Amino acid sequence: MAESTASRFVFGLSGSQLSDSERLLLVALRPFGILLSKQNLQTPSQSASLLEVSRGLFSPAPLLFVSQEGGSEDPIGPLLGTPSRSAAACAAAGTDRVHENAYLMGRATRLLGFDVDLAPVLDLAQPGTGAVVLEGRCFGFHAEDVVLSGMMFLHGLARAGLATALKHFPGLGRASADTRLTRPVVDAHDVDLMVTDVAPFTKLARGADGVVVGHAAYPGFTGDDTPASLSPKLLGVLRGPVRFEGVAFADDLVKGALDGALPDRAERAARAGCDALIVSGRSDAWEECVSRVAALGEDPARATRFAALRRRVADAPRPRFDEAVWQKLSEEASAFSELLSKPRPRREDRDFGFF
């Protein structure tokens, strides 16, 4: 069955259960996906039930999205009883810990019923900007370290059966403000950005199913303060030099970095080249958003990218939620958190076979 234009949207829910109005809208509009966040996930069993109901609303079933990074972006951790450790904390302990953390979070996320994790963050922890604004969400300052940790994180999620999306292209490491509140302007030359901030996306583009395009402005690329998510030039960089062939997601269009009414934002992001459009709330505007984007028509290449992501999700094992399995994951999460809080034992020369 071909994807409809409404299937370009990933809509977020408002509460811990579907409201009658949300249910009617979702069935009528049949979006590509549904995004669940911390306010939707109260207990493990309630979360699994909400996901099951959401999946059964229509066919083909919507993909179920979450942003589970650990640290400050951790909707799953409270359900496990132990906060998931941040990207920064795990990277500081070693790339093996990054993989263990991703695999643990991924199994819990998949057990609840999610299909896609909007992670990992590949932004650089620039001193005074990304390291502060992103609150431990970055793996490190150097692009090479971010690539290694990002690769391990991707592998952990893939082992757990989740599809992934790198973020926030072309990098928020130099952004001095939070795009949830305002639009930061990254004042750097395009060549400089390509060899630093963009480099992790270029290196890992073939290993991810999606890329989330952020809302900061990059005049070094565009010549003005157009947000990346609304910029055909930056989407051209993603498809051109970065050579990304998967689904390009516009970051949440409700964020304060963008101007104008929500339908205007959706239309501009679609025109710029974003495949999928994330709208975390504002169900009162969903119909108008869909109508505006529908007028732009269909694109066979985009339909191919959506179909590839659907196949990727369908091919992954989907375990049924089980309280006993969840309890074991909860115990594992507690043990991992305790392990990470301790310094790693120093390796002696004899451990390397020198004596």
Q: pLDDT tens digits for 111-147?
A: 999 999 999 999 999 998 888 889 899 999 999 999 9
- Domain of 153: which CATH number? 3.20.20.300
**Inside any domain, residue 328:** yes
Side chain identity at residue 166, one-letter code:
L
* 218 belongs to a structural domain: no
Residue 266 located in a structural domain = no
Angstrom CA distances, 228 to 3, 196, 233, 267, stand at 25, 17, 8, 14
Is 254 inside a domain boundary?
Answer: no
Would you say residue 101 lies in a domain? yes
So what's the pLDDT on residue 64? Answer: 98
d(CA 221, CA 193): 9
| pTM for the whole structure | 0.94
Confirm whether 246 is domain-assigned: no
Closest CA to 301 of 64, 63, 3: 3
Dist CA 34 CA 55 (whole Å): 9
- How many domains is the chain built from? 1
Check: CB of residue 38 under 8 Å from CB of residue 75: yes
pLDDT of residue 352: 46
**Dist. CA 170–CA 123, nearest whole Å:** 8
Q: Is residue 288 part of a domain?
A: yes
Under a CB-based contact definition with an 8 Å cutoff, are residues 214 and 172 in contact?
Answer: yes
The verdict on residue 259 lying in a domain is no
What does the pLDDT read at residue 4?
A: 55
300-340 per-position pLDDT tens digit: 999 999 999 999 999 999 999 999 999 999 999 999 999 99
Which parts of the chain fold into alpha helices (H)?
Answer: 20-29, 44-55, 77-80, 87-93, 95-112, 130-133, 143-160, 190-195, 199-204, 219-222, 232-239, 262-272, 286-294, 300-315, 323-341
Sign of torsion over alpha carbons 293, 20, 254, 166: negative
Structural domain span for residue 117: 5-176+198-211+279-340
- Report CA 307 to chain centroid distance, whole Å: 19
Q: What are the average pLDDT values for consecutive 10-residue runs of the chain, which has 355 residues? A: 67 95 95 97 98 97 98 97 97 97 98 98 92 91 97 98 98 94 95 97 97 97 97 98 98 97 98 98 93 94 96 95 98 96 69 51
